[in-house]
Amino acid sequence: MRILFAGTELYPHVAVGGLADVMAALPLALRDLGADLRLLLPGFPALLQAAAPLSPIRQWPDLMGGGARLLLGRTPAGVPVYLLDQPTFFGSGPPYEDRADTPRRFAALSWVAALLGREGDDGWGPHILHVHDWPVALAPAYLAFEPGPRPAALLTIHNLAYQGIFPKTLLSDLRLPPEHFTPADLEYYDQICFLKAGLVHADRISTVSPTYAREIQDPSKGGLHGLLASRRRDLVGILNGVDAGVWTPSGNLHLAFPYDLDRLDRRALNKAALQRELGLREDPDALLFAIVSRFAPQKGLDLVLDILPRLARLGAQLAVLGQGGGALESAFRAAPRRFPGRVAARIGYDTGLSHRCYGGADVILVPSREEPCGLTQLYAQAYGALPLVRRTGGLTDTVLDPDDTRPGGPPATGFVFNEATVADLAGALDRACARYRSDPAAWRTMQRAAMSQDRSWDRPARAYLDLYHAMTARSG
């Protein structure tokens, strides 16, 4: 089975969200199952450096606004990777910054993905073109607009909130046939929608958790619910995994005191070290909550700001690691001054500190209004930091509250609240604090259950491989 993965991120070289982890780990798991897989990514400088040495494959004097070359190299993990070297589009700047050429830069990447899908490279051609999120969602449409043989196309939605919507005046610039600008195809409220084009033309659609696959068909979610509901037979939710070689407390160089299930007492040493590092009061009895997150509205972090006085009255602490600008960032910057010794904030992203938060905090807060899959709660469980989450998307599929357990059933692995309200979050906070203080044995049982969960990429990789085979059988 030959598969071409097309996306825009690759951990750790270009990483904005969970997509980077998926693009790095899922191909390796598929390769272990015998798949012949290659990647296609933008030629961001960090990726050009990581994949060197590079061989030129094709070139275009003008690809939607700039000269371009297609280069072939290998990731540090040994996966063959095509890079679209187009300095005008990818030579600088964050991957998704809002710029005038955004539609052309990602349409160019999608166009190359479709071209590689149809024509292959030096005897290698994919059976499956697997594209990830809106920046490469035009690829299935480009495939459909050209006659002749083509691979089956799978589009994975990592977050429906981002859809790639641009003016219809760009149809010609993006090499899109005007006759396809209709409500049944490319048109979305008189604009071009990259994600809609992919949803219309992909052979199958996947998203990153079973619950999210159901949620995105609801009218309250993202405006494409009708199209997704009409394709429900082609839509599947496959829960993400975690790279156990990266996200583990055992042998972790970022932790002062690595540990595992047999050395769980060492977590207390990491907690004390984290309190010292962040300027929190060194108190082993204080329930230490942590946030590792982008400051995006859908993350529900405004609810946390509203419960800070309650958290302080309970004698708990909060460590915050995140970024995102705006009012949320300003509020979290100010919070340590309001609650000295109880709240600490580090603005930005620090890989080492993120591991230390997972390895030292007692609870990781994930109060998301929406969460397609969520990796934060999976990382937390791997480290024995119990996730406290809202019941939505992949959080529903991965965290079991003590109140939801039954005799002989799966064990509790965290705390869950229902509604995105201060009252519901506060109730879960109270329950976590009460259990931590009144029943240490039950807390330790939950930690062990969380750490013992199967978070590997093997199961999702097998599900994707089954899906690929079903797609090729149907298209053949």
The predicted structure's pLDDT at residue 93: 72
Residue 253 belongs to some domain of the structure: no
Which residue is listed with tokens 């406290």? 388
The predicted structure's pLDDT at residue 221: 75
The predicted structure's pLDDT at residue 223: 83
Residue 252 belongs to some domain of the structure: no
Residue 90 belongs to some domain of the structure: yes
Residue 149 belongs to some domain of the structure: yes
- If asked whether residues 77 and 92 sit together in one domain, one would say yes
What's the mean pLDDT in 174-191? 96
CATH number at residue 302: 3.40.50.2000
What's the mean pLDDT in 341-351? 95
Q: How many domains does the chain have?
A: 2
- If asked whether residues 266 and 201 sit together in one domain, one would say no
- If asked whether residues 465 and 446 sit together in one domain, one would say no
Q: Give 63-69 contacts, CB < 8 A, sequence gap 24+.
A: 63/108, 63/111, 63/112, 64/104, 64/105, 64/107, 64/108, 64/111, 64/173, 64/174, 64/175, 65/89, 65/101, 65/104, 65/108, 65/173, 68/108, 68/112
- If asked whether residues 383 and 461 sit together in one domain, one would say no
- If asked whether residues 196 and 277 sit together in one domain, one would say no
Find the domain containing 8 and state its range. 2-241+457-475
The predicted structure's pLDDT at residue 15: 87
Residue 161 belongs to some domain of the structure: yes
The predicted structure's pLDDT at residue 220: 81
pLDDT at 16 > cutoff 90: no
- If asked whether residues 297 and 223 sit together in one domain, one would say no
pLDDT at 156 > cutoff 70: yes
17 or 242: whose pLDDT is higher? 242
- If asked whether residues 324 and 462 sit together in one domain, one would say no
- If asked whether residues 177 and 311 sit together in one domain, one would say no
pLDDT at 476 > cutoff 60: no
The predicted structure's pLDDT at residue 367: 98
pLDDT at 97 > cutoff 90: no
The predicted structure's pLDDT at residue 325: 80
- If asked whether residues 287 and 380 sit together in one domain, one would say yes
The predicted structure's pLDDT at residue 278: 98
- If asked whether residues 165 and 229 sit together in one domain, one would say yes
What's the mean pLDDT in 397-407? 95
Residue 282 belongs to some domain of the structure: yes
Residue 249 belongs to some domain of the structure: no
The structure's pTM equals 0.93
